[in-house]
Amino acid sequence: MSRLVGSAVGSAAFLALSGFMPAWGQSLSTPSQVQTAGRGESGFAVMPHIRVSGIAGDVDGDFGLGYEDLFGEGVGLDLEMECLFPVGAHFLGPYVTLSWETFEGKNSIDLAGDTLEPDRLEVLSIMAGVKWRTSLKKWGDDEEIFAFFHAGFGAAAYGAVKGTLTASGVPTSVDVFDATTVFTYVLGSGFKHDFGRFSIDFNFGFRFLQPPQKGDLDFESSTALVLYVGIGFGVEL
């Protein structure tokens, strides 16, 4: 009889470790197993990121001029704060991000041979939204890899952009865009590797920004699309 009981317990333990324990077997899990499953996976965390990005969209569709024609690749920094809670086998909660991006201006030539060279474009944003996270692989109690997805919205402040317009060989200083505060929203995803209270994450996504207000030039700009990839380091408080 004791041999039969030992065999049944051994089989249940094997199924639990393999991730295939049936419902009746899950009720036999010990309290220590349940606590280990949720250890350090929810709570408040702070994560600074650095990223590179590109900007696209129509600055003036009539002339075929896009943001990508006026501005090169950008770099940015952000500080993200999240508070996630367990929801079934996953984690869900709010987050807030404060970010700064800058795009280097570049020389653009139209069909008539006139050139426009804007200064740097800078954007300061604050966004809030919801983040969902799920575990992909776990090693012991402290090391784990997650996948995550987030969506948020907020406000973005463009800085004023000046530039030099050269027409018929004569350079003129112009206001390309005026300082403008607009609506923005973001969709992103990535992977996060936890080492106890500390983590590293790789993230990517895109966000939309309403166009900045035109300056001296008669632009009819559309929504700007920013594509980004980044890396960050976090700590759980």
State pLDDT tens for residues 37-60.
Answer: 344 456 899 999 999 999 999 998
- Strongest mean pLDDT among 16-30, 58-72, 217-231: 217-231
Q: Report how far apart, in Å, the C-alpha atoms of 165 and of each of 20, 38, 218 are.
A: 68, 60, 13
Residues contacting residue 34 through CB under 8 Å, at least 6 positions apart: none
Query: Which residues sit opposite 103 in a β-bridge?
Result: 74, 121
> Could you tell me if 148 and 131 are in contact, meaning their C-beta atoms sit under 8 angstroms apart?
yes
Question: Range with the lowest mean pLDDT among 165-169, 203-207, 232-236?
Answer: 165-169
Does the domain formed by 39-236 have CATH 3.30.379? Answer: no
Mean pLDDT of the chain: 85
CATH 2.40.160: which residues of the chain?
A: 39-236
Q: How confident is the model at residue 114 (pLDDT cuts 50, 70, 90)?
A: confident
Residue type, 21: M
> Which among 143, 166, 44 has a CA at the least distance from the CA of 93?
44
At residue 200, the pLDDT reads 97
Is 28's pLDDT higher than 90? no
Is 213's pLDDT higher than 50? yes
Query: Which residues sit opposite 172 in a β-bridge?
Result: 165
Q: How confident is the model at residue 5 (pLDDT cuts 50, 70, 90)?
A: very low
> Could you tell me if 128 and 151 are in contact, meaning their C-beta atoms sit under 8 angstroms apart?
no
At residue 112, the pLDDT reads 67
Query: Which residues sit opposite 29 in a β-bridge?
Result: none
Q: pTM (2 decimals)?
A: 0.78
Higher-pLDDT residue of 169 and 137 is: 137
At residue 168, the pLDDT reads 83
The 10s digit of each residue's pLDDT in 124-158 is 999 999 999 999 999 988 899 999 999 999 999 99
The 10s digit of each residue's pLDDT in 216-236 is 988 889 999 999 999 999 999
> Could you tell me if 90 and 72 are in contact, meaning their C-beta atoms sit under 8 angstroms apart?
no
Is 32's pLDDT higher than 70? no
At residue 79, the pLDDT reads 98
Is 67's pLDDT higher than 90? yes
Mean pLDDT across the stretch 90-94?
A: 96
Is 13's pLDDT higher than 50? no
Q: How confident is the model at residue 237 (pLDDT cuts 50, 70, 90)?
A: confident
3-state secondary structure of 66: strand
